């Protein structure tokens, strides 16, 4: 997802790609790694477009971040569990946390002494990280926490601030609460299908800007008839001008 792009906004610094990337592997302490990440971001135009910072996250932290998604690349990688993939054009608040594994809950104690071999009491393999795929154009608000067994946040979804997500989220869903629930959908079924088929997120910002009027035309569709209850498999009514996100 974070492969270097031909987009003119994305420019790789050869010193960062060839030298800083290798040095990063040799320094394990965060107080040494953080300055290296900041240097890379300054040289490559910031967190939204830096190719090397994405290689660092992917190769050394097992976190894959798409281009034009800025938040995660400016954060400590440790706040996103290994196995997290985040798409392009996604808005991620700096207080978001993702988890792809959990401690055992079917034992007498959940303390790490009884399952974590690093603590020296048990001779067990370490807990494996799972996978979490966060789509394109997603919004993750302040203090959102994503927990297992969640493995998919659909493209275009909006997760309200403070939400604790325990389950997969469909594309273009509106989600809030603790525990989280789908409160509605941003558009009707056909509009969502059209957006997903268009794969608009594969375009560069310049390409999107050149076709901005067509990109915004989704708002001109008439609202869908109200449904008695929104569910993950049945998109609800299109938001009206007064309550659109």
- Is residue 179 reached through a cis peptide bond, with omega within 30 degrees of 0 on the bond before it? yes
94 touches 112 (CB < 8 A): no
Three-state SS for 108?
A: coil
- pTM here is 0.83
Q: Comparing C-alpha atoms, which of 1, 235, 9 is closest to residue 135?
A: 1
Q: Average pLDDT over the chain, rounded to whole?
A: 86
Residue 124 burial (CB < 10 Å; 0-12/13-18/19+)?
A: exposed
C-alpha radius of gyration, the chain, whole number: 20
pLDDT at site 113: 85
Could you tell me the two tokens for 171?
A: 């594309």
9 touches 204 (CB < 8 A): yes
- Biggest alpha carbon–alpha carbon distance for the chain: 63
pLDDT tens-digit readout, 18-53: 999 999 999 989 999 999 999 999 999 999 999 999
pLDDT tens-digit readout, 148-201: 999 999 999 999 999 999 999 999 999 999 989 999 999 999 989 999 999 999
Please tell me the distance from the alpha carbon of residue 118 to that of residue 139, in angstroms, as a whole number: 36
pLDDT tens-digit readout, 89-141: 999 999 999 999 988 888 888 888 888 888 878 888 888 889 999 999 999 99
Q: Please enumerate in sequence order all residues whose Cβ is within 8 A of that of 101, keeping only pairs 6 or more positions apart, or say none.
A: 81, 127, 128, 129, 130, 148
141 touches 159 (CB < 8 A): yes
Report DSSP state, residue 234. Answer: B
**Percentage, residues of the chain above pLDDT 70:** 84
Three-state SS for 116?
A: coil
């Amino acid at each position: 997802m974070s492969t270097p792009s031909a987009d003119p906004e994305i420019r790789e610094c050869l010193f960062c790609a060839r030298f800083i990337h290798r040095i990063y592997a040799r320094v394990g302490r965060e107080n040494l790694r953080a300055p290296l990440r900041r240097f890379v971001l300054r040289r490559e135009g910031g967190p939204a477009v830096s190719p090397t910072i994405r290689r660092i996250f992917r190769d050394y932290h097992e976190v894959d971040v798409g281009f034009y998604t800025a938040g995660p690349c400016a954060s400590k990688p440790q706040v996103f569990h290994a196995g997290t993939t985040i798409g392009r054009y996604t808005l991620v608040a700096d207080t978001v946390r993702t988890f792809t594994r959990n401690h055992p809950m079917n034992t007498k104690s959940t303390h790490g002494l009884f399952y974590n071999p690093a603590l020296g009491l048990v001779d067990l393999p370490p807990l494996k990280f799972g996978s979490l795929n966060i789509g394109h154009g997603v919004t993750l608000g302040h203090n959102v926490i994503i927990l297992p067994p969640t493995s998919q946040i659909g493209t275009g979804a909006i997760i309200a601030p403070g939400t604790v997500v325990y389950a997969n989220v469909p594309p273009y869903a509106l989600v809030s609460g603790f525990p989280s629930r789908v409160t509605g959908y941003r558009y009707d079924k056909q509009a969502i299908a059209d957006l997903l088929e268009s794969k608009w997120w594969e375009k560069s910002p310049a390409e999107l800007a050149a076709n901005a009027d067509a990109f915004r035309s989704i708002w001109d569709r008439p609202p869908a008839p109200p449904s008695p209850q929104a569910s993950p498999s049945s998109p609800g009514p299109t938001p009206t001008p007064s309550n659109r996100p």
